[in-house]
Structure 1
Amino acid sequence: MKYKNIREEELKNKVGADWFKSFDTTEILGNIDFTVFPKQDSIFGRTPLLWAEAKTGNFDVPTMFVQLILTIGKARTFDKTLPPAFLGAFDFKKIAFVPYISVQDIFYLNDFNWNVTPSNHETKEFKLIKDRVEATLKKNTTVYDYEKDEKDLKHFIANNIANSTETAKIRIDKNNFIPIYLRWLDIVKPTIDVHWDELKKSGILDSDFYLADLFVDDKDTQKIDDDITLRDNLFVIFQNQGYKIAKENIKQMFDATINIRNREAYQLFWKRYKRPPIKEFQEYIIERRDLLVPQDIRERQGAFFTPRIWVELSQKYLGDLLGENWQDEYYIWDCAAGTGNLLAGLTNKYNIFASTLDQADVKVIHERIDHGANLLKNHVFQFDFLNDDFSKLPQNLLEIVNNESKRKKLIIYINPPYAEGDNVRGIGRKDIHVSKIHSKYQTLMGKASSEMFAQFFTRIHQEIPNSVLAEFSKLKILQAPNFSDFRKFFRAKLEKFFIVPANTFDNVKGDFPIGFFVWNTSKNEIFEQTIADIYDAKGIFIGSKTINSYDNSKYISDWLEINSKKNSTNYIGHLASVGNDFQNQRMIFIDNEEKGSWKKGGRHTRITVENLIYTSIYFAVRKVIPASWLNDRDQFLFPNEHWENDKEFQSDCLIYTIFNTNIQSRFGVNHWIPFTENEVNAKERFTSNFMSDYINGKLKTENIDNLFGNEKIEYKPLHFSNDANEVLNSGRELWKYYNSFNATIANASLYDIREFFQGRNEKGRMNSRSNDEKYTELISDLRNKLNVLADNIKPKIYEYEFLKE
């Protein structure tokens, strides 16, 4: 046998060298065993020719293909890169090929668990796939023995693999329509003969042309002269081998056919994909057209999709509050509806209204109504909530808004735009800062006026009084200092409230909470505190959390500033600090001021003998509790006075801080070594013994005069908790071990020691691990002891009211 008794890696190398030497077989693609690519890239970049499964031994061909199919399906590799013309499977004796298109349908099975281990041939999923594809494989698979069929195998590779410049047509579904769009932008968009800036001013985007391309019947040909549009109610449709603008209010301005300059490139692109999209995903793609809208436009128009899990939960909360018949007893208006997904699941279409800034979204909702959405077309309309007068509302909705009694039964149900005027430029900034609502209520809103969602809520509160506001937004409406003026006038009772991770929403990457709030605006209450229900990303209830308003509160930054004013001109380090909440935790650090990081924004405090305890407490309090999505907006406050008598708390914070700085000896004198030279067997005298002298009460008057001015202060030895002593003992062993080497830095900081043992990678970043087992043991022990010390500090943070419970 040609490749008997060799390992799998050697088998792959030999098959590549013997049969595919004219190709590139070196690329690793996920967990696929073997790939074949052309030596040169095509217009589509890296175009695969073959994905294959490799096995040592003598294997059943269908079994090998099933394992390959499970590997591809589990990773959805076909969504991340173009699939090849052929799939392959080989062992030590034979190699087999099957056209990708012949098994493509298997990847779109409904209700199939792809998360099984592909190599486990005993799972029910493996057996199910094998049953489904075995007949197809018998019909379409070509198998070659390496020795008996050598000539035929070479001929197949030369005439099929080598010439498969066009792969099997890829079916378009909900998972790949966005990656296809991104390729379309690079290849097709430049061939369209149109002035994009002019169209954008009229609300026509490149994504409208992409949708026009998607929704055509391609007649299973590669030509475009027989392509026929399937949907006439898009903004742009494909017609007469070009594009026509179909948006009513501007189609007269663009009445000519928009041509394709390079038909060859257009045809080459679209012959890779089967159009239209798979039928069961067509409505989803239309509904989720918002995903193709540029980020800046999405933020201004509110074109964001509320995950279905939170839509359903929000409607449950409304039912719990308003009663089981709430949909019949209340009117519902989504005044930032987008494509209307927030209204999915509502039953009484006669009580539902939806308005949106973009007429394109109105058309989408109308089309969804044509396909069964439970809404009325005359209740869906274009309306600019921040600029239009209510006289433009449909008559039946206007009567509700103008009638005091009916307003009490009106629910404004929205996931509003979240754009911030201070974070965008150009037309987006203008839209936010020059809206009529911004101009009208800017003084009332204060700094919150730069936030679009605050403008929505202000108009609702001021101009649709006594209604119910059910909304999704960040927690800044309850907690942010910039919303303090807003909270003074926005008086309403928060009846129901839950919070979820923000990153469960589209294009939201931060770790912070988004809440669903139900406000009763007929009740005049200033928000002070509430208890929120908490749900994890899967919608599982995980507990509750007290949410506080911090109006009239003083913050930890105020406390630090007061206690850092009268300092010596000399200093031992620099504390960088930003904000007063957890979202800025990574910006809290201590380093050498000479490094220059103090020049970058935020607050900067020079650490001296007089403020060392204050800065250490500040640092430890801000750092010992990890930041999470749940506490992200919690504010650190000015403490009560009880911490002043807790010397153990003070010294615990000092020790925690000493072993968590970014002090580096190359940027200046290291004053932060808590040990004497004798304790750690140092090879030379330290440049500074400040910290060990401070800890042991040995700071002499002349030392203080020399380093920190002329104040006459008596420093006594510090008392440490058992946990703090454990940290010191662990750190001492680490310094001893460092000094057992021929170290170049006599008074090394902890950062220097870590750098010595861990080294840096080619990008200059410190490695996360070291090959030195003894060092790894010592640094792990130190970290464990620091974690114990942190746990000792945490409850006192709440006891002394640095944080509210």
Structure 2
Amino acid sequence: MRYQNIREEELKNKVGADWFKQFDTTEILGNIDFTVFPQQDNLFGRTPLLWAEAKTGNFDVVTMFVQLILTIGKARTFDKTMPPAFLGAFDFKKIAFVPYINIQDIFYINDFNWNVAPSNHESKEFQLIKQRIEATLKQNTYVYDYEKDEKELQSFIKNNVAKATTTSKLKIDKNNFIPIYLRWLEIVKPIIDVNWEDLKKANILDSDFYLADLFVDDKDTQTIGDDLSIRENLFVMFQNEGYKIAKENLKQMFDATIMLKNKDTYLHFWKRYKRPPLREFQDYIIERRDLLVPQDIRERKGAFFTPRIWVELSQKYLTDYLGENWQDDYYIWDCAAGTGNLLAGLTNKYNIYASTLDQADVNVMHERIDHGANLLKKNVFQFDFLNDDFSKLPQSLQDIINDEEKRKKLVVYINPPYAESGDSKQRMGTGKNKANVASETMIYKIHSDNYGTATRELFTQFLIRINSEITNSIVAHFSTLKFVQSQNFAKFRYYFKASYKSGFLVPANTFDNVKGQFPIGFYVWNLNEKKNIESFNIDVYNLTGYVGEKLIHTHVKGTFLIDWLRSYYDKSGNNLGFLRVNGPDVQNNLGVFITTNPTENDIKKHFIYNITLMNVLQMSIYHSVRISTKATWLNDRDQYLFPNENWQTDLEFQNDCLAYTLFNNNIQSQFGANHWIPFTEYEVNAQAKFESNFMTNFIKGKIQQEVPTIDLFSTANPLSKFETLTKVEKENKPLEFSEEATAVFDAGRELWKYYHAQKDVNVNASLYDIREYFQGRNDKGRMNSKSDDATYTQLIADLRSKLAVLADKIKPKVYEYGFLKE
């Protein structure tokens, strides 16, 4: 046999060299074993020709293809790059090919668990795929024996694989219409003879032209003269070998047909794809037009799609609160409707209103109405909620808003936009304000003085206008938790008076193009019941279903952990180091650390606290409480709070925090005396005397500590100035450490001893210095993540393991003493 008794990597190399030497077979794509690309990019960029499964031994062809399909489906590789013309499978004896278009439908089966190991041939998912594709593969697969079918295999590769980019038309579906759009932007958009800036002013985007191209019947010819639009309500339509914009949709007129500068380029591009999209995905592509809108415009318009699973759940919660017949008893207005997906599933179209900033989205909704969407066209309209006067609303909706009793029956049901006038980069000094976003709306200009920083965000501007101008109504909205938790929204909570009725939290990354690990909530508020926003329970879901509930805490100034930390501020000098403080919630924990050398940016943009003999324990507590808590999607926005008094008598907790900090800091001896060495010279066999024995003397009780006592709630105490602190001498006793903390010291001691056994070391080295010594730095000056020294690797791993155990011991106290609330 040609490739018998060789390893898989060698098999892939030999198959590439023997059969595909005119192609590029070196590219690695996820977990796919073998890929084939053209040697040079073509009009379509890096268009793959083949993705293949490789096996040593003699394998069943169908089994190999099933494993490849599961590999592709699990990673959803077709979402990230254009699928190939062929899928392949080969072992030491044979190679097989199947056109991708013959099996692509398998990736759209409903209720299938793709999150299984593709190599597990016994799983029910493996068997299900095998059953589904076996007949298709028998009919469409080309199988060649390397030795018996050598000439036929060479011919197939030459006449099919090599020519795949021009002879195989790819079906357009919900998974590839976005990658096709990205190529369209590069190739077709530049040859459309139009002033894009003029169109943008009229809210016409390049994506409208792309949709016009998609929704034509190409009649299976290579000319564009017979291309016929199949959707008449698109904002832009392709006709007469050019593009036509519907005049009635614009305040200014675009009468002339917009032509192509180069029809050959256009033809060459669309040769690759079969238009129109597959029928079963046409409505989805129209509905998901928002995915083609650039991020900055999406944020400005609020063009964000609410996943169907959360739409259905939100309507269930509205039903639970308002009653089974609520759609007949209440009016519904989605004033940030986008393409209207939040309204899918509602039944009483006579009580539903939908408005959106973009006329093109109105056209999409009208198109959906023509295809059965349960809405009335006259109740679907263009309206800029943050700028337009209510006199522009349909008269029937004005009548509801202007009638106090009807207004109580109005449910403003929205997933509003969330763009800020200044994003996090801008506030950190590394970016710019987003142009034409929150700070230029009418609502911002009217209410920014009263509502403060809350008006920087569009989603709160929606709530502000509803609260101010649609009083006594019901608000049901999606948003992050910051409006109920953040310190910056205290003014908003002062003015926004409502009774919380129900809601739920879900992971943010279940929404399109959201990668962060944080909660997004759905909340129902009754504005007719004027109450301060206070702590409330909210249900929690993930994609598997209900997982419990969470108590959401609202906070006021003076109740945060930073207020506690300020009571230990010390300007007396004799610094041992500096504590860098980051934002008040769990998501900012990575920005909290102890250092000897705060940067200029740290000093300018963050709170920097001096660590002295007077506050070393308290600074260690703050540091340990913060970094021992790992962020999850659910706790990500939880705020650290002023603790109760019980921590003060828990010496074991205090000493655990000190131990955790001693072996988890960024102290560097090059910037001054290292006061953080947790061992004596004798314990680690140091090669010389340490410059400072502060920490071991402190642990042994040889250094007298003075601690501040302040009544934080006394108006007589000048807390805000932090100038004078009452000092009370602490009893001079050695610190006693728990079993878990002692294990950390033991592991650390072995690491220090190993370091000091090396040649020419820095006798005053910190943990950071030791890590740098063994791990080194890369060409960019960053410390490497690993070391070639096996002994060091084992020692540092042991230390980290013991630190993790100590962190687990500290975590319950974080909640017990109120630093965080569950």
Same fold (TM over 0.5): yes
Distance 1:168 1:402, change over 3 A: same
**Alpha carbons 2:704, 2:729 under 8 Å: kept:** no
Looking at structure 1, the residues matched to 754 and 736 of structure 2 have their Cα atoms a distance apart, in angstroms, of 24
Task: Indicate the larger mover: 539-548 or 227-236.
Answer: 539-548
> Hey, what does 1:208 align to over in structure 2?
208
1:749 corresponds to which of 766, 769, 781 = 766
**Which one-letter code corresponds to 1:286 in the other structure?**
I
The answer to whether residue 471 in structure 2 is matched with residue 465 in structure 1 is: yes
Deviations 1:702-739 (A, max 9, x none): xxxxxxxxx99888343223233332223222212222
Distance 1:156 1:528, change over 3 A: closer
> Hey, what does 1:377 align to over in structure 2?
377
**Alpha carbons 2:32, 2:71 under 8 Å: kept:** yes
Looking at structure 2, the residues matched to 729 and 123 of structure 1 have their Cα atoms a distance apart, in angstroms, of 46
Alignment map for 1:302-381 (pairs within 5 Å): 302-381=302-381
Looking at structure 2, the residues matched to 523 and 206 of structure 1 have their Cα atoms a distance apart, in angstroms, of 46
Looking at structure 2, the residues matched to 96 and 795 of structure 1 have their Cα atoms a distance apart, in angstroms, of 58
**Which one-letter code corresponds to 1:561 in the other structure?**
R
Task: Indicate the larger mover: 549-558 or 773-782.
Answer: 773-782
Looking at structure 1, the residues matched to 123 and 656 of structure 2 have their Cα atoms a distance apart, in angstroms, of 54
Deviations 1:398-450 (A, max 9, x none): 22111111111111111112121223899964452233322332332122122
Distance 1:121 1:788, change over 3 A: closer
**Alpha carbons 1:85, 1:166 under 8 Å: kept:** no
Looking at structure 2, the residues matched to 346 and 17 of structure 1 have their Cα atoms a distance apart, in angstroms, of 59
Looking at structure 2, the residues matched to 429 and 597 of structure 1 have their Cα atoms a distance apart, in angstroms, of 25
> Hey, what does 2:581 align to over in structure 1?
577
Task: Indicate the larger mover: 417-426 or 344-353.
Answer: 417-426
**Which one-letter code corresponds to 2:333 in the other structure?**
W
Looking at structure 1, the residues matched to 753 and 512 of structure 2 have their Cα atoms a distance apart, in angstroms, of 51
Looking at structure 1, the residues matched to 487 and 387 of structure 2 have their Cα atoms a distance apart, in angstroms, of 27
> Hey, what does 1:549 align to over in structure 2?
554
2:626 corresponds to which of 613, 622, 626 = 622
**Alpha carbons 1:236, 1:243 under 8 Å: kept:** yes
> Hey, what does 1:707 align to over in structure 2?
none
Alignment map for 1:571-650 (pairs within 5 Å): 571-593=575-597, 598-599=602-603, 601-650=605-654
The answer to whether residue 458 in structure 2 is matched with residue 452 in structure 1 is: yes
**Alpha carbons 2:534, 2:554 under 8 Å: kept:** yes
**Which one-letter code corresponds to 2:17 in the other structure?**
A
1:726 corresponds to which of 721, 739, 743 = 743
Shift of 1:272: 1.2
Partner SS for 2:261:
coil
Looking at structure 1, the residues matched to 729 and 102 of structure 2 have their Cα atoms a distance apart, in angstroms, of 86
**Alpha carbons 2:480, 2:520 under 8 Å: kept:** yes
**Which one-letter code corresponds to 2:589 in the other structure?**
Q
Distance 1:427 1:388, change over 3 A: farther
Looking at structure 1, the residues matched to 648 and 60 of structure 2 have their Cα atoms a distance apart, in angstroms, of 76
> Hey, what does 1:532 align to over in structure 2?
538
Looking at structure 1, the residues matched to 278 and 338 of structure 2 have their Cα atoms a distance apart, in angstroms, of 24
Alignment map for 1:161-310 (pairs within 5 Å): 161-166=161-166, 168-250=168-250, 253-310=253-310
**Which one-letter code corresponds to 1:500 in the other structure?**
V
> Hey, what does 1:442 align to over in structure 2?
448
Task: Indicate the larger mover: 91-100 or 497-506.
Answer: 91-100
Partner SS for 1:186:
helix
Looking at structure 1, the residues matched to 798 and 194 of structure 2 have their Cα atoms a distance apart, in angstroms, of 65
Shift of 1:179: 1.5
Looking at structure 2, the residues matched to 768 and 329 of structure 1 have their Cα atoms a distance apart, in angstroms, of 62
1:654 corresponds to which of 646, 651, 658 = 658
> Hey, what does 2:502 align to over in structure 1?
496
Looking at structure 2, the residues matched to 543 and 213 of structure 1 have their Cα atoms a distance apart, in angstroms, of 47
**Alpha carbons 1:88, 1:97 under 8 Å: kept:** yes
Partner SS for 2:493:
helix
Partner SS for 2:501:
strand
> Hey, what does 2:490 align to over in structure 1?
484
> Hey, what does 1:708 align to over in structure 2?
none
Distance 1:644 1:567, change over 3 A: farther
Looking at structure 2, the residues matched to 225 and 547 of structure 1 have their Cα atoms a distance apart, in angstroms, of 61
Distance 1:739 1:264, change over 3 A: same
Looking at structure 2, the residues matched to 658 and 789 of structure 1 have their Cα atoms a distance apart, in angstroms, of 12
**Alpha carbons 1:535, 1:543 under 8 Å: kept:** yes
Task: Indicate the larger mover: 176-185 or 27-36.
Answer: 27-36
Distance 1:429 1:80, change over 3 A: closer
Looking at structure 2, the residues matched to 73 and 452 of structure 1 have their Cα atoms a distance apart, in angstroms, of 37
> Hey, what does 1:34 align to over in structure 2?
34
**Alpha carbons 2:775, 2:787 under 8 Å: kept:** yes
> Hey, what does 1:562 align to over in structure 2?
567
**Which one-letter code corresponds to 1:558 in the other structure?**
D
> Hey, what does 1:704 align to over in structure 2?
none
> Hey, what does 1:802 align to over in structure 2?
819
Looking at structure 1, the residues matched to 350 and 557 of structure 2 have their Cα atoms a distance apart, in angstroms, of 45
**Which one-letter code corresponds to 2:549 in the other structure?**
S
Distance 1:738 1:365, change over 3 A: same
Shift of 1:294: 1.4
Aligned-residue RMSD, C-alpha: 2.9
Distance 1:591 1:371, change over 3 A: same
> Hey, what does 2:387 align to over in structure 1?
387
Partner SS for 1:391:
helix
Looking at structure 1, the residues matched to 261 and 253 of structure 2 have their Cα atoms a distance apart, in angstroms, of 21
Shift of 1:664: 2.2
> Hey, what does 2:401 align to over in structure 1?
401
**Which one-letter code corresponds to 2:572 in the other structure?**
N
Distance 1:355 1:142, change over 3 A: closer
Looking at structure 1, the residues matched to 75 and 357 of structure 2 have their Cα atoms a distance apart, in angstroms, of 38
**Alpha carbons 1:49, 1:167 under 8 Å: kept:** no
**Which one-letter code corresponds to 1:720 in the other structure?**
E
Shift of 1:785: 3.0
**Alpha carbons 2:233, 2:366 under 8 Å: kept:** no
Deviations 1:77-116 (A, max 9, x none): 4443334444444444444444444445555555555555
Deviations 1:669-713 (A, max 9, x none): 322101110011111211222211222233499xxxxxxxxx998
1:668 corresponds to which of 668, 672, 682 = 672
**Which one-letter code corresponds to 2:225 in the other structure?**
D
> Hey, what does 2:716 align to over in structure 1?
none
Distance 1:18 1:206, change over 3 A: same
Looking at structure 2, the residues matched to 88 and 788 of structure 1 have their Cα atoms a distance apart, in angstroms, of 48
**Alpha carbons 2:36, 2:50 under 8 Å: kept:** yes
> Hey, what does 1:706 align to over in structure 2?
none
Task: Indicate the larger mover: 49-58 or 516-525.
Answer: 49-58
**Which one-letter code corresponds to 1:405 in the other structure?**
E
> Hey, what does 1:705 align to over in structure 2?
none
**Which one-letter code corresponds to 1:483 in the other structure?**
F
Partner SS for 1:421:
coil
**Alpha carbons 1:699, 1:715 under 8 Å: kept:** no
Unpaired stretches in structure 2, ≥5 consecutive residues:
706-726
Question: Percent identity among equivalent residues?
Answer: 66
**Which one-letter code corresponds to 1:541 in the other structure?**
Y
Deviations 1:535-580 (A, max 9, x none): 22x1522222222221243432233233223421x32212111232
Looking at structure 2, the residues matched to 84 and 796 of structure 1 have their Cα atoms a distance apart, in angstroms, of 55
> Hey, what does 1:13 align to over in structure 2?
13
